[in-house]
Amino acid sequence: LELHPEKTKIVYCKDDDRPDGYAQTSFDFLGYTFRPRRSKNHWGKYFINFTPAISNKAAKTIRQTSRGWNWPLRSDKQLEDLARMFNPIILGWINYYGRYYKSALYPTLKCLERRLVMWATRKYKRLRNHQRRGAQWLNCIAQKQPTLFAHWRLLYALAGQ
């Protein structure tokens, strides 16, 4: 049996009960990064806990995958068509990576939202070359139909809309 030196390492699981320092305090496993993070207990008090969240590598893969979908070039599709095409994949990402420390997933979901804005500014002439107008238009749609895209349930529920 031979151990891989980069994949096999001893990691110090730092939290409030173990405040000492160590060279390795995080590791990646199955698309998650396990490291010390701030958590909230039952009484609303914050503490440091060793918890998983989406890894940078997994977030990068999601962004690259969504870039490969060529949102702006799909101007022949309606918003509902895009939702039908991509919701199963987005929902799978949310269900898998959003299980632990969901807030670490929000920047990646906002990247999907920016891709939708790019699609809207390319599809509709009145929004062309106006990213802010495209974002406002999409925001209005999201308020009227918050369940159209899977990631809207998280992003717009977060904003209290």
Last residue of a domain, one of 36, 53, 70: 53
Domain total for the chain?
2
Inform me whether the pLDDT recorded for 161 exceeds 70. no
Q: What is the pLDDT of residues 8-47, one digit of tens each?
A: 887 787 877 777 778 888 888 899 999 989 988 899 999 8
Same domain? For 7 and 37 the reply is yes
Same domain? For 82 and 148 the reply is yes
Same domain? For 4 and 49 the reply is yes
> pTM for the full model?
0.84
Same domain? For 72 and 114 the reply is yes
Structure tokens of 34? 């396990």
Locate tokens 């702006």: which residue?
72
Same domain? For 107 and 45 the reply is no
Q: Do residues 130 and 81 touch, judged by C-beta distance below 8 A?
A: no
Q: What is the pLDDT of residues 96-141, one digit of tens each?
A: 999 998 899 999 999 999 999 999 999 998 999 899 999 999 999 9
Give the range of the structural domain holding residue 31, as residue numbers without chain letter: 1-53
> Which pLDDT does position 11 carry in this prediction?
79
Same domain? For 80 and 145 the reply is yes
Same domain? For 31 and 70 the reply is no
Give the helix/strand (H/E) hosting 38. Answer: strand 32-40
Same domain? For 71 and 147 the reply is yes
User: Phi and psi for 98 in degrees, rounded to 5?
Assistant: -85, 0
Same domain? For 69 and 13 the reply is no
Q: Do residues 143 and 135 touch, judged by C-beta distance below 8 A?
A: no
Q: What is the pLDDT of residues 92-108, one digit of tens each?
A: 999 999 999 889 999 99
Same domain? For 63 and 35 the reply is no
Q: Do residues 49 and 37 touch, judged by C-beta distance below 8 A?
A: yes
Same domain? For 84 and 27 the reply is no
Euclidean distance between CA atoms 9 and 86, whole angstroms = 38
Q: What is the pLDDT of residues 52-95, one digit of tens each?
A: 999 999 999 999 999 999 988 888 999 999 999 999 999 999 99
**Pairing assessment for the beta strands 46-54 and 27-29 based on DSSP bridges:** unpaired
